[in-house]
Amino acid sequence: MIRILLADDQPLVRTGFKMILDAEPDMAVVGEAGDGADAVRQTRDLRPDIVVMDIRMPVCDGIAATAQIAAAGHARVLILTTFHVDEHVVNALRAGASGFLLKDVHADRLLEAIRVVHAGNAIVDPAVTRGLLDQFVHRLPAPGSHDGAAGQERLSCTTGREREVLALVAQGLSNAEIAAELVVTETTVKTHVHHLLTKLGARDRVQLVVLAYETGLAGQRPPS
C-alpha cells in the first residue's frame, strides 16, 4: 500500500485528488495539509511514502517544505502545480522533489507518476521540460564562456553517447522514446542512464535534467 499525504491550500483540490487516489487498491491518503509547514509536520508524524505537493501555499511554500522533507528522508515528493514553467520548477527540483507534473494531468498519468516515484524513480512532465527550455535557454552558458567550459569539464567523464542520452532525458523523453530516437534497445538506454547517474553523482533522473540545464547541454528546443 502506497501511503500518500496531500499538500494543497485548496480543499476542493485535495478532495478531488483524495477521491481518485483512495479508489486505487494500492493507494491510501493518510493525511491532508493546507500549507507547507503543516505538510512538513504531518510528514514527520505520519511517515507517508509520497507527498503530493503544491508549490504556492501559505506559511511555508511547497519548495521550502520539499527541501525539509527531502533532507529528513521521511518521504519522496511529487510536485503538482498549475504553473507550467517559472523558476519555481527548477527550485523545487533542486530542493529534492522526485517529480513534477501539472495539475491538469489525466488521472491515469497521476497514478502512474505516484507509482513511478514510489518505486524509487523520478518523473518530469514533458510539457514542463519543454517550457523550461523556452524560459531558461537564454541563461544557459555559451560554449566558449567560463561557465560553459566548467560545464563541459563536468561532462568530460561521460561518453558521447551518454551525453546524447542526457540531452534527450532533459527533453522529457522516456527510456522507450530515447531508445526509438537512438535506434537502440531500452535496456541499453537504462544502462546509459545508470552510468550518467553514477558518473555525475546525481540522485535520480530529475537531477540529470537540472544538470543538463546547468551544463548547457539542454540548449536546444525539443522537436515538436
What is the percent of the chain where pLDDT is above 70? 80
Q: What residues contact residue 97 under an 8 Å CB cut-off, 6+ apart?
A: 53, 66, 70, 77, 78, 79, 206
Amino acid code (one letter) for 41: R
Q: What is the CATH number of domain 2-125?
A: 3.40.50.2300
Instruction: Give the mean pLDDT of 44-62.
Output: 92
- What does the domain layout of the chain look like in residue ranges? 2-125, 134-214
pLDDT of res. 139: 52
pLDDT in tens, 152-178: 677 889 999 999 999 888 877 778 888
Mean pLDDT of the chain: 82
pLDDT in tens, 82-101: 765 556 666 777 788 888 88
Q: Do domains 2-125 and 134-214 have the same CATH topology?
A: no
pLDDT of res. 152: 63
Q: What is the pTM of this model?
A: 0.67
pLDDT in tens, 20-45: 999 999 999 999 999 999 999 999 99
Cα distance between residue 139 and residue 31, in whole Å: 39
* Record: fold of 134-214: Arc Repressor Mutant, subunit A (1.10.10)
Residue given cell 529528513 in the structure block: 72
